Amino acid sequence: MFTLNINGKPNNVDEEGDMPLLWVLRDILKYTGTKYGCGKGLCGACTVHIDGLATRSCVLPISVLGQNKITTIEGLSDEGDHPVQQAWKSLNVPQCGYCQPGQMMSAAALLAENASPNDEQIEQAMSGNICRCGTYPRIKQAIHLATELSSEIKGS
C-alpha cells in the first residue's frame, strides 16, 4: 500500500511498486488529464510536478515516491486560472490539445524557477515535450504571455 500526496490530498493505492505514476493517476485514481504518449520518457505528454519539478510520470515507479508532493494538471490551479492556463486559453494554443497538459506542466515548472525565461531557455525547458500538431510557436508565445500575466498578478 502506498500513500500518494496528489494535488494536496492523500490517496491510498494498493498496487505494485513498479507501476508508473502515470497509470496510477489515470487508471486507478482517474486523473485522466495526465496523458500517455510514449511510455518511455520521450514525449512529455505525462508530465506532472514532483515537488514542483517537471517529471515524466510514465517512467516514475510509485515506489520511489514518499511524501513528495505530486501536482497534476487538475491541481495546477483551482479555477483553471494559473497564468500558464490563462495564456494558453487566450492565445488559442491547443490544436488537438492532447499534449497540452504536459506542455503546461512543463511551462509552469519553468516559470516557477525562472520568472522571465528567454527563447533559448524556453526551448531548453520545453524540448522534452512533443506536439505532433505543431503548436510550438504558440506555446513559446504563451509562455512569454504567462510571464507578463504572473508579473501583473504579483504587481497587483
Partner 1 sequence: MQTINNVSRRKFLKALGISSSALVLSVNLPGLSLLPKVFAAEENPEKFIPNVYVEVNSNNIVSIIVHRSEMGQGIRTSIPMIVADELEADWQQIKVVQGLGDKKYGSQNTDGSRSIRNFYKPLREAGASARIMLEQAAAQLWKVPVGECKAIDGKIIHQKSQKSVGFGELVAIASTLPVPEPKDIVLKNKADFKFIGKSNVKLVDGQDIATGKAIYGFDVELENMVYVVIARPPVLASKVKSFDDSQAIKIKGVIKVIQLEDIKDPVGFKPLGGIAVIATNTWAAIKGREALKIEWDVSHHSSYNSSEYKAMLKESCDSPKKILRDKGDTTAALANASSILKAEYYVPELVHAPMEPPAATAHYHDGILEAWACTQTPQSAQGTVAKAVGLAPEKVFINVTLLGGGFGRKSKPDFVAEAAIISKQLALPVKVLWTREDEIQNGYYHAVSYHKLEAGFDQNSQVTSWLHKTALPPIGSTFNAKAKVINFEGSLGMIDMPYDIANIKCTAGKADAHTRIGWMRSVTNINQAFAVCSFADEIAHARKENPKQSLLTLLGSDRHINVNKEKAKYGNYGEKLKEYPIDTARLKQALNKVADMAEFTPVKENGNGMGIAVHRSFTSYVGCVVEVSKNPQGHVKIEKIWMSADCGTIVNPERVISQMEGAAVFGLSLTLFGEITAKDGVIEQSNFDSYRLVRMNEVPPIEVEILPSHEPPGGVGEPGVPPIAPAICNAIFAATGNRYRKLPLAQYNII
The residues of the shown chain that bind partner 1, judged by CB under 8 A, are 15-16, 19-20, 23, 26-28, 30-40, 42-43, 45, 72-74, 76, 80, 85, 88-89, 92, 94-101, 104, 122-124, 126-140
Which option in partner 1, ligand FES, none does residue 108 bind, with CB closer than 5 to 8 A by kind? Answer: none
Compute CA 13 distance to the chain's CA centroid, rounded to the nearest angstrom: 21
Element spanning 47, H or E: strand 47-50
Task: Give dist(CA 136, CA 143) in Å, integer.
Answer: 11
Distances, alpha carbon 74 to alpha carbons 24, 80, 82, 105, in Å? 15, 8, 11, 10
Contact between 89 and ligand FES per CB under 6 A: no
Give the shortest CB-3-to-partner 1 separation in angstroms: 18
| Residue choice 116, 133, 137, 153 for contact with ligand FES (CB under 6 A) | 133
Burial of 117 (0-12, 13-18, 19+ CB in 10 A): buried
Q: Compute the least distance from the CB of residue 35 to partner 1, in Å.
A: 7
Question: 46 touches which of ligand FES, partner 1, none (CB within 5 to 8 A by kind)?
Answer: ligand FES
**101: contact with ligand FES by CB under 6 A:** no
Count other C-beta atoms under 10 Å from residue 121's C-beta: 14
Residue 2 or residue 98: which is nearer to ligand FES going by CB? 98
Phi, psi for residue 94 in degrees, rounded to 5: -65, 150
Q: Residue numbers of the site for ligand FES (CB under 6 A)?
A: 36-39, 41-46, 56, 58, 94-100, 131-133, 135
